[in-house]
Structure 1
Amino acid sequence: MRIGELSRRTGVPVPTIKYYLREGLLPAGELTSPNQASYGDVHERRLRLVRALLEVGGLSVAAIGEVLAAVDDKERPVHEMLGAAAQSLVPGYGEGGGSGGAEDAETVLARERVARLVEARGWRVDPANKAVEALVAALASLDRVGHGGFVDVLDDYAEAAERVGRADLDYTARRVAREDLVEAVVVGTVLGDAVFAALRRMAQVDASVRTFGEEASRA
């Protein structure tokens, strides 16, 4: 198909497709003349994946390039490929309380707590994983605003997260193609977070009603 047909099938404007080609996010089409190229199903699928990473995942073009490089590296184990995709979806957090220097007391304590949690649950998670840093930052912030006691329910959160994580991977494992797997990670992570947040709120309302009475249901 010509680039115009590719645009019509995917809803992506031709100038945008050309930009993705220049950035290496799409493989070059097969030249049919000096100024014309032909595109196939592979290009259509890759273009849809790029849009999912951009629109659903909220990734930058540079981050999408990293994810696609992992997808295209056929020698890279699936676990590492999925890890690269998942890592790209986790926001970055500053270290040392945002100062760039030595970590403050709250961050040090939070890091110790996270390390103990990971060890206690037997999670095989690299301490350098961005999700670890995100949890450290969240716990340190809770401590700074006077809610360090939140750590008392951290294991309950970990238990729920473990079950959700397994469900995520069960869903992802149904996919066979590498690009299918990445799409499942992106959609499952981003939209799955939204689903989980909504379910959490519903469960909070129910728990509030049961704990404080029917009037809480109107909150």
Structure 2
Amino acid sequence: MKISELSRRTGVPVASIKYFRREGLLPAGRATAATLAEYGEEHVQRLRLIKALTTLGGLSIAATRDVLTAVDQAETTDGTLRAISYALPVPVTAASAGDPDRDAQAEAAARADVADLIARMDWEVADSSPHVQALTTALRELRRLHADYRPEGLVAYAELAHAIAGLDLERAAALGDSPALAEQAVIVLALSGPVIELLRRLAQEDQVRRRSLG
């Protein structure tokens, strides 16, 4: 197909397709003339993935390039999911300014709590995981607000999160190693957070209304 057809099928403007190609995100088409090229289904799939990363995932062009490289190098479904999970923006609570010594103590205490929770859940998590540091920061800031969430209290939440993660991976596993895996993985991982949070709020609303009516 010509670039105009590729644009029509993907909803990506021709100018953007050319930009993605210059930035190394999209492979070049098969040259048919000095200024013409033919594109195939692999280009359609790659453009959809780029759109998912930049719009749903909110990634920059540079970050998108890194993810695409990692996805291309991944040899398994798990490798693809790991690459995308680590690349997507991590929700991190902004740190508050305070006493350095107290901050250091709070950081150490929060980090110990996270390690304790991971051990209780028997989760296999890399020490370098950005999610570990993000949770550490969140717990530290909650403590600053006198809203402690200790490991024993977080286990019930972690078990629910574990079940949700299992559902996410089941959706991805159903795709096997199909070309749509990476695109669908971005959609699941990028959108599942907001969807789960909205379901949580709807459930809270339901329970508050029931209590008030009771």
What TM-score does the superposition give when structure 2 sets the normalisation length? 0.89
CA drift of 1:214 comes to: 1.5
CA drift of 1:146 comes to: 1.6
- Residue identity opposite 1:89 in structure 2: L
- CA distance in structure 1 between the aligned counterparts of 2:93 and 2:79, rounded to whole angstroms: 24
Please list every run of 5 or more consecutive structure 2 residues that lacks an aligned counterpart in the other structure: none
May I ask how many residue pairs the two structures share in their alignment? 212
| Secondary structure at the counterpart of residue 180 of structure 2 | helix
Percentage identity across paired residues of the two chains: 39
CA drift of 1:97 comes to: 6.8
Tell me whether 32-41 or 144-153 shows the greater mean CA deviation: 144-153
- CA distance in structure 1 between the aligned counterparts of 2:97 and 2:91, rounded to whole angstroms: 11
CA drift of 1:95 comes to: 10
**Partner in structure 1 of residue 73 of structure 2:** 73
**Partner in structure 2 of residue 142 of structure 1:** 142
- CA distance in structure 2 between the aligned counterparts of 1:25 and 1:185, rounded to whole angstroms: 18
**Partner in structure 1 of residue 83 of structure 2:** 84
Counterparts in 2 of 1:81-120, with a 5 A limit? 81-91=80-90, 104-120=104-120
| Secondary structure at the counterpart of residue 28 of structure 2 | coil
CA drift of 1:177 comes to: 3.2
Question: Does residue 122 of structure 2 align to residue 122 of structure 1?
Answer: yes
How has the CA–CA distance of structure 1 residues 40 and 98 changed in structure 2, closer, same or farther, with 3 Å as cutoff?
A: farther
Superposition misfits of 4+ residues, deviation over 4 angstroms: 92-99, 149-152
- CA distance in structure 1 between the aligned counterparts of 2:126 and 2:95, rounded to whole angstroms: 19
- Residue identity opposite 1:203 in structure 2: A
Tell me whether 76-85 or 122-131 shows the greater mean CA deviation: 76-85
- CA distance in structure 1 between the aligned counterparts of 2:90 and 2:197, rounded to whole angstroms: 17
CA drift of 1:106 comes to: 1.7
RMSD (CA atoms): 2.5
**Partner in structure 2 of residue 34 of structure 1:** 34
Of structures 1 and 2, the one with the larger relative CO (CA 8 A, separation 6+) is 2
CA drift of 1:133 comes to: 1.2
- Matched-pair contact (CA < 8 Å) for 1:49–1:179: no
Tell me whether 78-87 or 123-132 shows the greater mean CA deviation: 78-87
| Secondary structure at the counterpart of residue 31 of structure 2 | strand
| Secondary structure at the counterpart of residue 148 of structure 1 | coil
- 1:4-37 Cα offsets, whole Å, 9 max, x none, are 1111111111111001001111101111112211
Counterparts in 2 of 1:207-218, with a 5 A limit? 207-210=207-210, 212-214=211-213
CA drift of 1:195 comes to: 1.4
Please list every run of 5 or more consecutive structure 1 residues that lacks an aligned counterpart in the other structure: none
CA drift of 1:179 comes to: 4.0
CA drift of 1:176 comes to: 2.4
- Matched-pair contact (CA < 8 Å) for 2:175–2:181: yes
How has the CA–CA distance of structure 1 residues 33 and 111 changed in structure 2, closer, same or farther, with 3 Å as cutoff?
A: same
- 1:59-115 Cα offsets, whole Å, 9 max, x none, are 1111111111122125x343222111111113275999789x986222211110000
- Matched-pair contact (CA < 8 Å) for 2:139–2:149: no
- CA distance in structure 2 between the aligned counterparts of 1:136 and 1:179, rounded to whole angstroms: 36
CA drift of 1:121 comes to: 0.9
CA drift of 1:186 comes to: 1.4
Tell me whether 44-53 or 169-178 shows the greater mean CA deviation: 169-178
How has the CA–CA distance of structure 1 residues 78 and 69 changed in structure 2, closer, same or farther, with 3 Å as cutoff?
A: same
| Secondary structure at the counterpart of residue 32 of structure 2 | strand
- 1:105-141 Cα offsets, whole Å, 9 max, x none, are 2221111000011111110011211111111111111
Question: Does residue 50 of structure 2 align to residue 47 of structure 1?
Answer: no
